[in-house]
Amino acid sequence: MVDEVLVRASETLVAWMEHRYKGWEGAKQFGQTPERLQRMYQEFCWTPEQIETELGKYFKTFENGYSQMLVKREIEVWTLCPHHLLPCCFWVTIGYVPDQRVLGLSKLSRIAEVMAKRPIMQEAYSDELADALMDNLRPKGVAVYVVGTHGCMTSRGVKQHSKVITSTIRGCFETEPETRAEFMAICRS
Ligand SMILES: [Zn+2]
């Protein structure tokens, strides 16, 4: 269901485009743009309820005696930067050391994707993802490493193509330097 505010906002933005390019042949392409914008923003920006419901499906843990570090590397995740509403791509690597319970590796990818379904800064994303895994999985520790490219930096302004790297560590990754070092070596290999 498309909400009223989004309908008005998309129509206003397209009205501005039509005004700016009045009389130009290319402006005919804007015909279906409000509907396209609505679908696009709904895809990028889920409601808090949608996010919570979806996460609930993926945080299903099961008992397992495995006690070593598990790492899922380079999960591709898209979000919008909250300052410019331009797409950002995050390559997310998650590591955790289980405490009796594990999570399916495919679930880790889905959780990483769903947590980005709102405009969020990369720093906050790293922290929120690590904390959600700590709270729901109750492992011995969690580490999250994110390499991001931000549309607002690569496509406009100073046009910097450098990558932004953030990492968040919790539990045994904080208290055991060798566990952290092992994880960082995997991230950089
Ligand atoms: Zn931005």
Query: Alpha-carbon distance 80 to 37, whole Å?
Result: 14
Whether 88 has a pLDDT exceeding 80, the answer reads yes
Sequence-distant (6+) residues with CB within 8 A of 35 are 10
pTM of the model: 0.93
39 close to 12: Cβ distance less than 8 angstroms: no
Ligand 1 center–CA 97 separation, angstroms: 33
Q: How far is CA 140 from CA 96, 97, 106, 122, in A?
A: 7, 5, 20, 24
Quickly state the pLDDT bin for 64 (edges 50, 70, 90): confident
Domain 62-188 sits in CATH at 3.30.1130.10
Residue 5: what residue type?
Answer: V
Query: Alpha-carbon distance 158 to 125, whole Å?
Result: 24
pLDDT tens-digit map of 154-185: 888 777 778 999 999 999 999 999 999 999 99
Ligand 1 center–CA 133 separation, angstroms: 26
Ligand 1 center–CA 98 separation, angstroms: 35
Q: What is the residue extent of each domain of the chain?
A: 4-44, 62-188
Ligand 1 center–CA 4 separation, angstroms: 26
pLDDT tens-digit map of 140-162: 999 999 999 998 888 887 777 78
Quickly state the pLDDT bin for 1 (edges 50, 70, 90): low
Ligand 1 center–CA 63 separation, angstroms: 41
Ligand 1 center–CA 71 separation, angstroms: 29
Ligand 1 center–CA 164 separation, angstroms: 12
